[in-house]
Amino acid sequence: MSEYVTKETFEKMKVELHRMKTVDRPAASAAIAEAREKGDLKENAEYDSAKEAQGMLEARIKQLEGIISTAKIVDMSTIDTSRVMILTKVTITNLATKKTVTYQIVGDKEADLKQGKISASSPIGKGLMGKVKGEIAEVQVPNGILKFKVEDIAI
């Protein structure tokens, strides 16, 4: 599945992948070699730990390579603010609590609730996608249905 990302996030992922391949991978190999020199591999916790760290590093490298190869870079200048879509900032009011919040709709890899970024594939994100200013979004969540009024859409 393709991941929507900003150019900035795409570049950060490329830098992280490069660092993992050129710095972290050789360091992991060196740690394994050093642990191997310490004797019996059956009872060598340091060797087991180094091999496990290498496995996790290789899994992350593979994951990043997959994301980068299928990523769709969204250009901020082409975003239409007439509807809620990826990378728009939407101000909504919870009709039950009258609480108003602003979220930016982002791809899964950029989602961070503390920064006000929610995933387009989250229940609220899905419920808001395509809505226009003034429209009511009914969102199915685990404890029922929440109703949000779209107050504003911006970049």
Q: Are residues 81 and 136 located together in one domain of the fold? A: yes
Give Cβ neighbours of residue 91 (< 8 Å, ≥ 6 apart). 100, 101, 102, 150, 151, 152, 153, 154
State whether 51 and 83 are in the same domain. Answer: no
Q: How confident is the model at residue 2 (pLDDT cuts 50, 70, 90)?
A: low
**Residue (of 142, 115, 137) closest to 126 by Cα position:** 137
- Looking at the structure, do residues 98 and 147 belong to the same domain, yes or no? yes
At 116 the pLDDT is 92
For residue 125, the SS3 value is helix
Q: How confident is the model at residue 58 (pLDDT cuts 50, 70, 90)?
A: very high
pTM score, whole prediction: 0.64
Are 60 and 54 in contact, with CB atoms under 8 Å apart? no
- pLDDT of 37: 83
Cite the DSSP H helix spans in 40-108. 45-70
How many structural domains does the chain have? 2
**Residue 40: CATH number of its domain:** 1.10.287.180
Domain span at 107: 77-154
> 16-35: per-residue pLDDT in tens?
999 999 999 999 999 888 88
- Could you give the maximum distance between any two Cα atoms of the chain, in Å? 70
